[in-house]
């Protein structure tokens, strides 16, 4: 199967709203076996487990995608995986790992401000609500048509005692 055909089949599977989570996992497992590179299959299978609420299994596949060199094979997917994997880690109680992963996430057009939004969620889960709110505000500040200086100052004030 060509790389393009595989990509089309993966996209069609994700778009199929007629199947349940287990069917998606089963079908993705078959597609992962046919992936043009192991890292791609592991990433997509991790996403299927993640979407299906099986975060522990998702973590295994995301880690395998990283080990197989996803960052070199598909930088867009690698950027998305940081967000997805960190979210999974947060959901299974590994918030410190999630926070570290998201703090180190590079800016990438495939994710936009998502790493910062998910960092805010992880910080909140870690019991750090002021820092979480600051990160969330700083993530949206560049999109505001005005009030940049005020918003930046208010965000900074949320955690100035912590620094």
Domain membership flag for residue 77: yes
pLDDT digits (tens, 9 = 90+) for 5-61: 999 999 999 999 999 999 999 999 999 999 999 999 999 999 999 999 999 999 999
Domain membership flag for residue 110: no
Instruction: Read off the pLDDT of each residue in 108-115 and give the average, rounded to a whole number.
Output: 95
Domain membership flag for residue 154: no
- pLDDT score at 106: 87
> For residues 75 and 37, what is the distance between their CA atoms, to the nearest angstrom?
13
Mean pLDDT score of the chain, rounded to an integer? 95
Read off the CATH number of the domain in which 18 is found.
1.25.40.10
146: three-class secondary structure by DSSP: coil
Are the beta carbons of 106 and 116 closer than 8 angstroms? no
Is residue 162 very low, low, confident or very high in pLDDT (cuts 50, 70, 90)?
low
Per the structure, the complete domain to which residue 11 belongs is given by 3-105
Domain membership flag for residue 60: yes
């Amino acid at each position: 199967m060509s790389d393009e055909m595989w990509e089309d089949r993966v996209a069609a599977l994700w778009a199929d709203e007629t199947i349940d989570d287990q069917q998606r996992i089963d079908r993705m497992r078959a597609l992962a076996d046919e992936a043009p590179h192991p890292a791609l299959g592991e990433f997509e299978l991790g996403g299927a487990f993640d979407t299906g609420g099986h975060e522990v299994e998702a973590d295994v596949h995301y880690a395998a995608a990283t080990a197989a060199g996803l960052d070199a094979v598909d930088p867009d997917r690698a950027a998305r995986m940081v967000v997805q994997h960190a979210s999974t880690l947060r959901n299974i109680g590994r918030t410190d790992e999630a926070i570290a992963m998201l703090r180190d996430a590079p800016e990438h057009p495939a994710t936009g401000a998502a790493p910062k939004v998910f960092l805010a969620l992880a910080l909140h889960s870690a019991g750090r609500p002021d820092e979480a709110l600051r990160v969330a505000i700083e993530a949206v500040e560049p999109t505001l048509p005005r009030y940049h200086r005020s918003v930046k100052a208010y965000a900074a004030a949320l955690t100035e005692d912590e620094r």
